[in-house]
Every structure is written in structure tokens, then in C-alpha cells.
Amino acid sequence: MKAPAFWRRQGALATLLAPLGHATATITARRIARAGQKLDIPVICVGNAGVGGAGKTIVVRDLLARLSRYRRRPFALSRGYGGRLAGPVMVDPALHNAAEIGDEALLLAADAPTIVARDRAAGGRLAAASGARMIVMDDGLQNPGLIKDVSFLVIDGAYGFGNGKCLPAGPLREPVAAAAARCQAAILIGPDLAGARAALPAHLPVLRADLQPACPIDLRGRRVVGFAGIGRPEKFFSSVRQLGAELLHEAHFPDHHIYSAAEMRRLADQACELDAILVTTEKDIVKFPASWRQGIAVLTVGLLWEDELAMERFLP
């Protein structure tokens, strides 16, 4: 879904829906209060307070690469949002597709062994039995199934916490204070343009990072048609422009969108008509058949930390 515009501001509709938001907060608090399972290996959770593309998966991939360098043998654990398999299942990119295990799980599987499980405790047990020495959870801050050793609260600096209200009055799954209370640090991605720091407890450490886009094809001066099915596609299109491309058209799709053959053909035809190349995200390209991927430029996004050592001090 695309986040409603009123989630970014206070207004009549947000006020009208506020009682439902209070109910969401109460239900979430009751769920979180349930007892979880403690594993014999550390569990790191990368979550956020609301819905939408805060940048969790980018942080998870950064942690997986970092921990792998240190020979910590990390496994990724994902719900597999958008996929039909409940799991727990070990992701095999040669066998599974995005319709089965979700696009984010396919991305993570390129970096480390990845397990998809709607039951996070069952997924954690499978990871431990399969040789994991550490688990990095993509999302799950509001899921009580596993006891976390370290939790990070990821925040998109441009969006912050929206209007600060809970669903459906705003974008939050739970109040900011409640989410922050279970985290050891916040990770603020990009400049704080929405006042997110002011909403956080004063004692919570805030780690800063910026998105670092790259593309194997030099996009400077190139005519491109961009398409993306992610939580906040405006960040992707901004990155395309940042790399110097002439962005002729932006094609927006819902988050986790599975592309039909007709949609693929339409994108290809549009690029051809405009004498342009297609450019998309890593999360989107994994949903295309190999035969369709040729000629599509893929934007990669990493993190440039303000202080990497500060972040690493929180790792178990």
C-alpha cells in the first residue's frame, strides 16, 4: 500500500481515527507482553515503530556483511512478507521465487543463509539447528516470539514518525516511546527533516547513517525510466537523480509488488519509446525472470555510517 498523505500531518481525519489508533496501541502492547523464547545464540532485531520503508532491510544487509567478515556466521530471519510460504524454510534462490518467500528474503539470501518463518521462534530454532551463531531479524520488533539481545529502531530521517499516531490514524504500529523502550539504539537514516530525534527518549543513543546509492552502469546524463515497488519510492527516484540520470518517467508500484508479464512489457515499451533505459531497485529486479533482466540497470544502496565503531559497540 501507499502511505496516505494525512499520515504525515495532524488534521481532522487523523483526529477522527485517533480512537482506533489507541486501540491499535493497546492490542500491540498486549501482544508484545507475551513470553518469548530465549535461544542459545544472540538475536539482533532490526525494526521500526511504524509501517513503510524505513530502511530496515538495508541495515540488516549491512549487519550481515559486517558479522560475516568477523566470522560470526549470521543467519537472516524474515517473515517473508508478500510470500505464500509460512515456513520455517531455508531460502534457496535456485528453488524459491518472490511469490513464495517474498522479495526481501531473496535479497537477504544473497548475503547470508536466510530463513523465512511467520513463527519467528520456529525460524530461530531452525537457524540454530542449521549452524547459525547469530540471528539478524529483518523486522519483528513488535513480534514477541523470540527474546532479542539487541534491538535497533530504524528511522527514515525524511519521514520520521509521520504524525505520531497509530494505525489507522497514522503510520505507527505502537507509540514511539513504547518501541524505543525496547531498543538499545536508534538508527537515523538521512538528515532529520521530520523532527524524529525530538520524539525519542533523551537517553536513547542515536546512530547516524546516510544512504549511499551506486549503479554498475554510469547513469550520468543517461535518459532513464525508473520503476519501483517499495515502501517509499521517492527515495529511490531521488537516488537516481543523485547519480546524474535524466529521469524521464517514474513508475510507482505498491510495496512488494509482483510484476505481471504485461507490466514488464509496458515498462520495456515505454523505455523504448523514450529512447531510455530502465532502472530499478535490487528488491524489484529479483521478481523479474532472468530473461527480462538484461538491459535493466539496478541501483544498489548501502549505508555510510557517521561512526561505524559507535554502531559496532552495540553488537553482541
Q: pLDDT for 116-170, tens place per residue? A: 999 999 999 999 999 999 999 999 999 999 999 999 999 999 999 999 999 999 9
- DSSP bridge pairs for 114: 76
Predicted confidence pLDDT, tens digits, the chain (316 residues) = 567 889 988 899 999 999 999 999 999 999 999 999 999 999 999 999 998 778 899 999 999 999 998 888 999 999 988 888 998 999 998 889 888 988 889 989 999 999 999 999 999 999 999 999 999 999 999 999 999 999 999 999 999 999 999 999 999 999 999 999 999 999 999 999 999 999 999 999 999 999 999 999 999 999 999 999 887 888 899 999 999 999 999 999 988 888 888 999 999 999 999 999 999 999 899 888 888 888 899 999 999 999 988 989 999 8
Closest CA to 153 of 189, 183, 196: 183
Q: How far apart are CA 166 and CA 175, in angstroms?
A: 7
276: left (phi over 0), alpha (psi -120 to 50) or beta: beta
pTM: 0.90
Question: Taking the domains of the chain in order of start, what are their residue ranges?
Answer: 6-204, 213-303
Asked whether the CA dihedral 287, 291, 297, 300 is positive or negative, the reply is positive
Q: How many CA atoms lie within 13 A of 29 on its CB side?
A: 13
- DSSP bridge pairs for 111: none
Looking at residue 1, what is its pLDDT?
A: 58
Residues 208 and 307 sit within 8 Å (Cβ to Cβ) = yes
User: Buried b / exposed e across 78-115, counting CB within 10 Å, b at 16+?
Assistant: bbbbbbebebbbbbeeeebebebbbbbbbbbbebbbbb
The class level of CATH for 213-303 reads alpha beta
Backbone torsions φ then ψ of 276, nearest 5 degrees: -130, 170
Q: How far apart are CA 296 and CA 299, in angstroms?
A: 10
DSSP codes, the chain: -PPPGGGGS--HHHHHHHHHHHHHHHHHHHHHTS--BPPSS-EEEEE-SBSS-SSHHHHHHHHHHHHHHTT--EEEEE--TT-S--S-EE--TTT--HHHH-HHHHHHHTTS-EEE-SSHHHHHHHHHHTT-SEEEEES-TT--SB--SEEEEEEETTTTTTTS-BTTTSSBSS-HHHHHHT-SEEEEES---S-HHHHS-TTS-EEEEEEEEE-SS--TT-EEEEEE-SS-HHHHHHHHHHTT-EEEEEEE--TTPPPPHHHHHHHHHHHHHTT-EEEEEHHHHTTS-HHHHTTEEEEEEEEEES-HHHHHTT--
Q: Going by C-beta distance under 8 Å and a sequence separation of 6 or more, which residues neighbour residue 88?
A: 115, 116, 117, 119, 122, 123, 125, 126
239: left (phi over 0), alpha (psi -120 to 50) or beta: alpha
